Each structure stands twice: as C-alpha cells, then as structure tokens.
Amino acid sequence: MILSKVEKANIEPKITLIGAGPGDPDLFSLKGVKALKTADVVLYDANVNEALLCYAPEGIPKVYVGKRTDDEDFSQEAVNKLIIDYALNYGHVVRLKSGDPFFFAKGYEEIDAAESYSIPTEIIPGISSATGAPSLQKIPMIYKDLSESFWAVTGTNSKGEISEDLYIAAKTKATIVVLNGIEKVEEIASIFQGENKGLLPVAVIQNGSTVHEKIAVGIVDTIAEVVQDKKITAPALLIFGDVVSLHPQFQPIRDFYEIIAEEY
C-alpha cells in the first residue's frame, strides 16, 4: 500500500498494544476488536491466532514479527523499530501480542520505545495463559486449604539460566505457574525435589485454549517423564501445587498413592 503525499501529511501516529489471549479467538476482547477495525497496520506475534486478523480492514499491511525464537530478524530491538516506522509512515499501528501484553510479553519495552518518539499509546489487556489455561482445565490458582496465593515465574532469565525466583517459590505452599520453562522441566522439578516435594501435583499445558491443546498431569518426581511420553513442547506452562490434585486426570494418581500408603 503506497500513500500519497496528502495522505502522509494527514497521518496521526498511534500505537495500540492488544493482548490476543491464550489462543482461542473467542477469548479476544470486544475492545480489541474495535481497535483492530481502526488499524492502519497490524503487527502480530507467533502465538497469536491469525483468525483475529479478519477484524482488521482489508488491504492494510499485516506483518508477522515472530517472537517465538531468538531469530535476529525478530529481535526486540528490530520489532521496536518496525512499530515506530509503521506508526510514523502509516498511522495507527495495532500490535497484537499473545496473552496479555504486560504479562511476560515485553509490552513495556515497546511502549517505552514508542513514547520516546512522542507517539501516543494505548494498552488493551488480554487473558494471560498463566491464568486462562489453568482456568479452562478447571484448575484454580487459589482454593480453600490448598493454596492461599499463586506465583507466576519465568522459567529462565535473559541469560537462559534457571530463574533464582524459582528456588524461593519452591519453598512456599503457593501455586507456582512457570512460563518459558518446558525445555528445563527436569531441572525445575529437581528444585522442588530439593524441598522434599517429590509428590507435589504438577500439570503441564501446551497450547492452552486451542484445538492443539495438550495436558500432562503427574507429580514432581515423574513429570519430566510424563512430558516426554506425551511429547509436550513449547509453548507450554507448568503448574506446581496441590490445586492440581483437583484435576480429573489426577484422581488415578491419588488413588494409586493411597493404595501404596495403605500397604505400607
């Protein structure tokens, strides 16, 4: 799409960051739909359901910017530059980010970059997979005597190392949701084993809310093996906590250990 000089002169740059939710397009917000209808450009991430693009006007640029791997073409710096360039040259840029844009999605970095150019910004929250995926599996984050709080922790830091916060979280009775940790599930499980929590219930959800959703349920001592058997890969989150015992798939595991306990 080529703009005339008159059209360029009337451009009003704006950037709207929208949380696209965990994957199911029906979980997208009405406010997000309204914003997409006014877009001049859409930039979207790898985990965003492309069905949402139908809400944007026909003929406008709809640009895939990855963000699933460390591909340099889609580094955060490159994405920031694209957002600014499109806003200055086209007008209203809608940035679709999976989950919630300020929940493990680097939304602040993009807003900060835009505002450094005095470009107006708006945030439209979305449902994070950290809470949405467990809810769809009927796993509560907080429930009666099982958990009084929940932690959302990144599995690895910017250096690719296990987050130090996991060592602290494993000492608590809270429900622990680990994002970006599936590749290190065995190492993460060992942290909980170090706190004598080998029998703690664990759930792993891949592609939560989508038709490709998979779930694995087990205990800390066996979860790495269960994940391997079920061939669960990224994008996936881990849920550690007694609340996982409420999931129907955990019932056979509970029954098994009750039988073992009775025998010994």
Q: Tens of pLDDT along 217-258?
A: 999 999 999 999 999 999 999 999 999 999 999 988 877 655
The domain that holds 214 is classified in CATH as 3.30.950.10
Entry pTM: 0.89
Q: Are residues 198 and 111 in the same domain?
A: no
pLDDT at 8 over 80: no
| The pLDDT of residue 260 | 47
100 shares a domain with 76 = yes
Residues 123 and 169 in one domain: no
- Asked whether residue 2 is domain-assigned, the answer is no
Q: Is residue 215 part of a domain?
A: yes
* pLDDT over 70 (residue 68): no
User: Does one domain contain both 99 and 199?
Assistant: no
CATH number at residue 102: 3.40.1010.10
- 56 shares its domain with 123: yes
264 belongs to a structural domain: no
Count CB neighbours of 89 within 10 A: 14
Q: How many other C-beta atoms are found inside a 10 Å radius of the C-beta of residue 24? A: 18
State residue 106's pLDDT score: 87
The pLDDT value given to residue 252 = 83
Dihedral sign computed on CA atoms, order 218, 222, 224, 229: negative
* pLDDT at residue 262, rounded to an integer: 55
**Which tens digits make up the pLDDT trace of 139-191?**
999 999 999 999 999 999 888 899 999 999 999 999 999 999 999 999 999 99
Domain membership of residue 44 (yes or no) is: yes
Distance (Å, rounded) from C-alpha 177 to C-alpha 97? 20
Same-domain pairing of 109 and 224: no
pLDDT at position 227: 98
Report pLDDT for 104. 80
Q: Which of 2-11, 29-38, 189-198 has the lowest mean pLDDT?
A: 2-11
Domain end call among 127, 162, 181: 127
- Find the domain containing 243 and state its range: 130-256
pLDDT at residue 251 in the model: 85
Rounded to an integer, what distance in angstroms lies between the CA atom of residue 69 and that of residue 262? 48
Name the average pLDDT for the chain. 92
Are both 74 and 185 inside the same structural domain? no
Same domain, 112 and 153: no
Specify the pLDDT at position 67: 61
Which pLDDT band holds residue 263 (cuts at 50, 70, 90)? Answer: low
Instruction: Answer yes or no: do 134 and 252 share one domain.
Output: yes
Cβ atoms of 111 and 121 closer than 8 Å: yes
Count of structural domains within the chain: 2
In a domain, 3, yes or no: no
**What's the confidence (pLDDT) of residue 54?**
98
Dihedral of CA 7/9/14/15: which sign? positive
Supply the DSSP string of 89-149, one letter for each residue.
HHSEEEEEESB-TTSSS-HHHHHHHHHTTT--EEEE----HHHHHHHHTT--SSBTTTBS-
- pLDDT at position 254 is 73
Kindly state whether residue 4 falls inside one of the protein's structural domains: no
Pair 89, 171 in one domain: no
Answer left, alpha or beta for residue 5, where phi above 0 means left and psi between -120 and 50 means alpha: alpha
Domain termination site, one of 95, 127, 159: 127
The token pair that represents 145 in the structure block: 């005597």
pLDDT tens digit sequence for 14-40: 999 999 999 999 999 999 999 999 999
Q: Would residue 61 count as lying in a domain?
A: yes
Residue finishing a domain among 127, 155, 171: 127
Residue 263 lies in a domain: no
What's the pLDDT score for residue 264? 47
What pLDDT does 256 receive?
62
Kindly state whether residues 162 and 238 are assigned to the same domain.
yes
Whether residue 135 sits in one domain with residue 120? no
Per-residue pLDDT tens digits for 71-104: 545 788 999 999 999 999 999 999 999 999 999 8
